Structure 1
């Protein structure tokens, strides 16, 4: 836009009206930073007039919305908004414009201020939409302020000619919000990133709340929530960020990188040394050059994502991948344990107390999942592979894209694990055959199912996992064993003992000290205690194994509150992302799960789930003390 636009002279504006009437999306760039974006017709438009002032936050807040106009010339605005308002008013009966701008200066901040003062938010609205101004002001005033508290001041009249013109459009209302540029240092002009991001999130949310109030007051529609009025279309920048992070995240596997390849030999050496000292673990070579991967990770540009929710999800994932790279690079170094603590957290006192209660309760019961009756023939890797292929085939009948590679490997300790679309089975595995179906429900019915469901969402992030997803994912997987009818005393005891072992490791106990405690205090066999201690001390000390019980407790509390499980089947997410998943689903950015776990298709599975909704603790999940 280099000059005034006249509606009756511009063919593209006629095309815009035609597209809106046909329900088509619009994204029109004008070559000077100006843009019209409408991913669907809505009874509102967010507006920012730049005027060459580089108002970064105001522009970002506006661009975060499903319907916005960013313009560099005020004279170009009126004909475009008039065209949009005519179409919207015809369909909805009313239309509201929300204009954001930044004030010239931060007048409350002075050189001699003894603390960070409030910051100014100036608000004005046309007289025909008082609920818009009231809702916006209330939302801003009530927002969480980590740095400076907003102070809303309502003006009595418009401060510019364009606002008067916009307010005069037939069937339209106007809200103008101008705020102090507190995200910039007064002298240098440098940006405070945390302040910037918080300011965008606050104003974006308040703007949508104001639009929702306008819509509801006029009976136009009843949105599921104000956030459901957000964007439904992804810009290409989101796909570029998604691909970029996924390519780095999938170039290495954290658990494979830190899992010893010589578990059998290490046990025999440990045994020969009288179960004293460090077994001496060896690891496979890394498949990623850490420094190069980090450089590529932080060269990914986030500035054009536009959607603040997705922006935050990818920032969190970027930070997590950075920590994972630091972790694998620090194998067998003193810093490894601290990177693991940063990724998986400490063992909280309440978590440790719950684990110790379980161990006290189960002091008389089977020590580990490998225990079995003498008259039951052990299930080996051949049997496991056959049963796994059978379960995978059952999922494929419901969802043909459920394509899993099953690998039986010599370089893994006894057990199973999932890596992306692969199910890895250790050739050394021996277990009670009655434990096979529950463990396959854990690995296939949760880990692989959420991988494939996440892959259906259009963004790889939901397949590889949102930051911090592993705790809830493992809690869900353990809960799946209960739903499948296989939560035994031995299994629950093992999960609790992992927490105690993690607490010992994080407090400085040596490998052999934790090993002997498991044998002496909790009755684990030496082989089982070694395998458990190996998991906790691999790489130099990995706190991951505490997340199984932590995640299970979070899930049981989630169910007790009456919350749904569906968002957890959509992809790999944490408990903290439950609300985000609901919002993205309400905006049409997420699909329902392509496939549900087989154990929920049975009456027994559904009955167990309903029982859990009444309120259970981990000990209440026990179904058999003999298996």
Structure 2
């Protein structure tokens, strides 16, 4: 027996010392195993690789936990039994009790002659030493496991009792004496290997679905154990997740951010000749579809895709982070396809995939808003306007305010000729169309929208460990634009004219998706809904840019969703941690509980006003 195969007493002593002093343990084991213990914790997940059969994928079921060991079966008598026993005793002294959970794949019945042995009905089987032991924990695990959705079905969970818990054919990892000591608890966690084929190949997507559910169930089970049996104080089960982030996560994050930051999607799909196109459209009597020109694409999207799918997302062990990064990769892929399809009929289907369309409820809301606004008498007094230079001055003052509070803020204000909208934020910088003018009473609202939301969340995301939080998680636009419009409302700058624009965008997107041309959609806004020609053109050109961009529907949809979120008691501060979608809020909360993310350094200035507080109270 080679000495290198042994887990030495010195190794065991080092692990126990680290646990006692509340240090992280992340070490390799002989024969290719590993131990990871985030911090002092009263539980441990164990997986032993069977020596007589392949078992692909099962070890991944423990990787999401904050405390686990992965080892070979043959190491049981080569120091693994002593290592686990020492961890149990050391942590038990800290917390008064300790729970060991051994996870293993259940053996699948095989054919016997011409008769087929009935296949196991249960997907999960929990093993306890005796009836009544750990009942609250077992019940919590049973309930949570039964809620997992596998191919649109819920699994069956069974409970069995055995004095010596171990996978079939293996020696128990804890000896009888230790098992009977007060404060020592053990459960077996058998899993039907639905993620393996009959010839023991891996089904990776089925495994990912399963391990997400198993991870949540385990954390809730551990939380039940912590509350009832230990001295550890916890307020939420998500606190028991992994805090340590593996290098693979940062490698994936860097690679995705590098690709996304190598191109500006909105600039690439926005015309460079909007000002000239309007003049030509006006001269045609609003009857000839304007011709738009776009920037040259400074890269080959197909080569970017090759680079994108070369990123090793499968190395991410944490299912929460894996989900976030996988969603982002898929969104970048779709945007690259849209750039390939720019100014062609294929662009619109990609836009619908990325930004969605307009459902009946949203369209009815937009139409209702247009009708109500039309019934309100217009203010006959002329509007006082400011130019791009004055807007730039106000923006620089607001950026300076945030820079004092977070010196990393380095946003630039640029007055340019080559952007389609009046103003926009791109890569944390504020861009203003040189030819645009702005109503003076709307300046504060626009500053709050662009600087107090888009720039602020860019730098809040920048402060976090993951770049995706400032480049934007998948589908972030809807939430971003929703809270940006909310900022306009909270400072009293959400005018009827602005609401009319938001509603018009929804109506224009719906018209475009239904197949109406540019001229017909313009006429719908100008003639049917009474918009001024230049405003109607601005809305229509934004919607038809690139070949049909449905993004503009997210402003009103996002605003209505944010209002509902606040009305239902949602925490507003979570929305400013970075560029996130509504679907990410539970994931962000979990990462905050796990201390993977931290509280953001910036909070919108407009939320400190009495006016904003009163308006928020009305929403609630």
Residue 205 of structure 1: how far off its partner (Å) = 1.6
CA distance in 2, matches of 1:169, 1:595: 53
Helix, strand or coil for the counterpart of 1:45?
strand
Correspondence for 1:621: none
Structure 1 residues 372 and 2 mapped into 2: Cα distance closer, same or farther (>3 Å)?
farther
CA distance in 1, matches of 2:120, 2:524: 55
Correspondence for 2:399: 392
CA distance in 1, matches of 2:562, 2:115: 50
Residue 595 of structure 1: how far off its partner (Å) = 0.9
Correspondence for 1:485: 492
Question: Does 2:463 correspond to 1:456?
Answer: yes
Asked whether the 8 Å contact 1:124–1:133 carries over to 2, the reply is no
- Structure 1 vs Structure 2 CA RMSD: 2.3
> 130-139 or 482-491, which moves further after superposition?
130-139
Question: Does 2:175 correspond to 1:177?
Answer: no
Residue 98 of structure 1: how far off its partner (Å) = 1.0
After superposition, the C-alpha distances for 1:365-419 in whole angstroms (9 at most, x for unaligned) are: 589xxx9942x54211100110100111111122222211111101113411111
Identify the match of residue 102 of structure 1 among 100, 105, 112: 105
Correspondence for 2:344: 333
CA distance in 1, matches of 2:83, 2:377: 73
Correspondence for 1:289: 300
CA distance in 1, matches of 2:153, 2:145: 12
Structure 1 residues 251 and 398 mapped into 2: Cα distance closer, same or farther (>3 Å)?
same
Correspondence for 1:618: none
Identify the match of residue 202 of structure 1 among 180, 193, 213: 213
Asked whether the 8 Å contact 1:117–1:148 carries over to 2, the reply is no
CA distance in 2, matches of 1:54, 1:600: 58
Superposition pairs of residues 152-301 of structure 1, within 5 angstroms = 152-157=157-162, 158-159=165-166, 160-163=170-173, 165=175, 168=179, 170=181, 171-187=183-199, 189-301=200-312
What is the TM-score normalised by the length of structure 1? 0.92
Structure 1 residues 372 and 213 mapped into 2: Cα distance closer, same or farther (>3 Å)?
farther
Residue 223 of structure 1: how far off its partner (Å) = 2.4
CA distance in 2, matches of 1:372, 1:186: 77
CA distance in 1, matches of 2:515, 2:203: 38
Question: Does 2:522 correspond to 1:515?
Answer: yes
Correspondence for 2:70: 70
Helix, strand or coil for the counterpart of 1:123?
strand
CA distance in 1, matches of 2:532, 2:287: 16
Question: Does 2:581 correspond to 1:579?
Answer: no
Structure 1 residues 381 and 434 mapped into 2: Cα distance closer, same or farther (>3 Å)?
same
Unaligned runs of 5+ in 2: none
Helix, strand or coil for the counterpart of 2:22?
coil
After superposition, the C-alpha distances for 1:460-516 in whole angstroms (9 at most, x for unaligned) are: 011111111110110000000011220100000100110000000000000000001
> 409-418 or 220-229, which moves further after superposition?
220-229
Asked whether the 8 Å contact 1:106–1:120 carries over to 2, the reply is no
Helix, strand or coil for the counterpart of 1:49?
strand
Correspondence for 1:412: 419
Residue 320 of structure 1: how far off its partner (Å) = 0.7
Identify the match of residue 556 of structure 2 among 546, 549, 553: 549
Residue 250 of structure 1: how far off its partner (Å) = 1.1
Residue 202 of structure 1: how far off its partner (Å) = 1.7
Helix, strand or coil for the counterpart of 1:101?
strand
Asked whether the 8 Å contact 2:420–2:542 carries over to 1, the reply is no
Structure 1 residues 341 and 372 mapped into 2: Cα distance closer, same or farther (>3 Å)?
farther
Asked whether the 8 Å contact 1:38–1:66 carries over to 2, the reply is yes
Structure 1 residues 254 and 140 mapped into 2: Cα distance closer, same or farther (>3 Å)?
same
Unaligned runs of 5+ in 1: 614-627
Helix, strand or coil for the counterpart of 1:150?
coil
Helix, strand or coil for the counterpart of 1:379?
strand
Asked whether the 8 Å contact 2:96–2:230 carries over to 1, the reply is no
CA distance in 1, matches of 2:447, 2:2: 63
CA distance in 2, matches of 1:165, 1:348: 62
CA distance in 2, matches of 1:409, 1:54: 62
CA distance in 2, matches of 1:529, 1:549: 17
After superposition, the C-alpha distances for 1:325-376 in whole angstroms (9 at most, x for unaligned) are: 1111111111100000011112000010111110110014589xxx9942x5
Structure 1 residues 346 and 156 mapped into 2: Cα distance closer, same or farther (>3 Å)?
same
Asked whether the 8 Å contact 1:106–1:181 carries over to 2, the reply is no
Correspondence for 1:346: 357
Question: Does 2:68 correspond to 1:58?
Answer: no
Helix, strand or coil for the counterpart of 1:244?
helix
Residue 51 of structure 1: how far off its partner (Å) = 2.8
Structure 1 residues 10 and 404 mapped into 2: Cα distance closer, same or farther (>3 Å)?
same
Question: Does 2:545 correspond to 1:535?
Answer: no
Correspondence for 2:124: 121
Correspondence for 2:38: 39
Helix, strand or coil for the counterpart of 1:572?
coil
Correspondence for 1:93: 96
> 331-340 or 601-610, which moves further after superposition?
601-610
Asked whether the 8 Å contact 2:461–2:579 carries over to 1, the reply is yes
Helix, strand or coil for the counterpart of 2:123?
strand
CA distance in 2, matches of 1:303, 1:446: 33
Residue 136 of structure 1: how far off its partner (Å) = 1.4
